[in-house]
Amino acid sequence: MLHSDSWKQFKIKDIASIGRGRVISSVEISQQDNPLYPVYSSQTSNEGIMGYLDNFMFEGEYINWTTDGANAGTVFYRDGKFNCTNVCGLLKLGDEFDTYFVSLVLAEATKKYVSTNLANPKLMNNTMGSIQIRLPKLKEQKRISIAFRKLRELLEVHNSLLTEYSRLKQYLLSQMFI
């Protein structure tokens, strides 16, 4: 887990406001004129994007998580203008915390708080609020956050290259046997 015993312990409800999105139907999404802003849902494929709307409900840095279903407890970092459905929990952290860093810590911590004894696994707002995590001072959060962002960017570049090389390989193979 990403922490040190020297870091200070916090409950999520003490460092973030906790909320949810609203019900957004696929019909509403299909009726948009100029859909620019992502709608995040409980799905985890496609980074959780269910579609796009003309307007947005949230702007800035947030953490969201899947509250219901097989992927309950999956955590995402969000930055920008976006929408969120009612099956997504949202955290807005105070300025004394690095949102990206906290999202990394929570991505590991939430797994053990998901209620799996139900037909439909859940990680509700009240449970999220009671989760305790350890955090360093803001300066160290930012340093660690920068390192992990760079790693993520490198992975994205390499995955993109891998996809492109795989396509090229398939194309070349198909041309060889015509």
CA 74 vs CA 27, 157, 164: distances in Å: 26, 23, 28
Residues 53 and 93 in one domain: yes
Give the lowest-confidence range in 2-11, 49-58, 69-78, 161-170: 2-11
* Predicted pLDDT of residue 30: 94
Q: Let me know whether 31 and 89 are in one domain.
A: yes
Pair 86, 174 in one domain: no
Q: Which residues, in sequence order, are bridge partners of residue 67? A: none
Residue 176, pLDDT score: 86
Shared domain check, 176 and 129:
no
Residue with structure tokens 């922490």? 3
Task: Find the domain containing 165 and state its range.
Answer: 137-178
Q: How does DSSP classify residue 42? A: S
Give residue-wise pLDDT tens across range 119-161. Answer: 889 999 999 999 999 999 999 999 999 999 999 899 999 999 9
Specify if 106 maps to a domain.
yes
Q: Same domain for 101 and 169?
A: no
Q: What is the DSSP letter of 86?
A: T
- Token reading at 112: 């053990």
Q: Is 82's pLDDT higher than 80?
A: yes
pLDDT in tens, 39-75: 999 888 888 999 999 999 999 999 999 999 889 999 9
Residue type, 173: L
| Cβ burial, residue 22 (10 Å; 0-12/13-18/19+) | exposed
Q: Does residue 128 sit in the same domain as residue 156?
A: no
Count structural domains, the chain: 2
Same structural domain for residues 90 and 161? no
* Cα 13 from Cα 48, distance rounded (Å): 24
For residues 130 and 152, state if they share a domain.
no
Place of tokens 């459905």: 85
- The region, left, alpha or beta by phi > 0 then psi within -120 to 50, assigned to residue 116 is alpha
Determine, yes or no, domain membership for 2.
Answer: no
Q: Are strands 88-93 and 75-84 parallel, antiparallel or unpaired?
A: unpaired
Q: Which of 23, 85, 99, 6 is nearest to 48 (CA)?
A: 85
Same domain for 113 and 169, yes or no, is no
Same domain, 51 and 122: yes
Structure tokens at 85: 């459905």
Phi/psi at 45 (5° precision): -70, 155
Task: Give the H/E segment covering residue 125.
Answer: helix 125-130
Q: How confident is the model at residue 3 (pLDDT cuts 50, 70, 90)?
A: low
Name the band, by pLDDT with cuts 50, 70 and 90, for residue 12: very high
The values of phi and psi at residue 7, to 5°, are: -75, 155
The per-residue pLDDT of the chain, averaged, comes to 93
pTM: 0.84
Mean pLDDT of 73-91: 96
118 and 55 in one domain?
Answer: yes
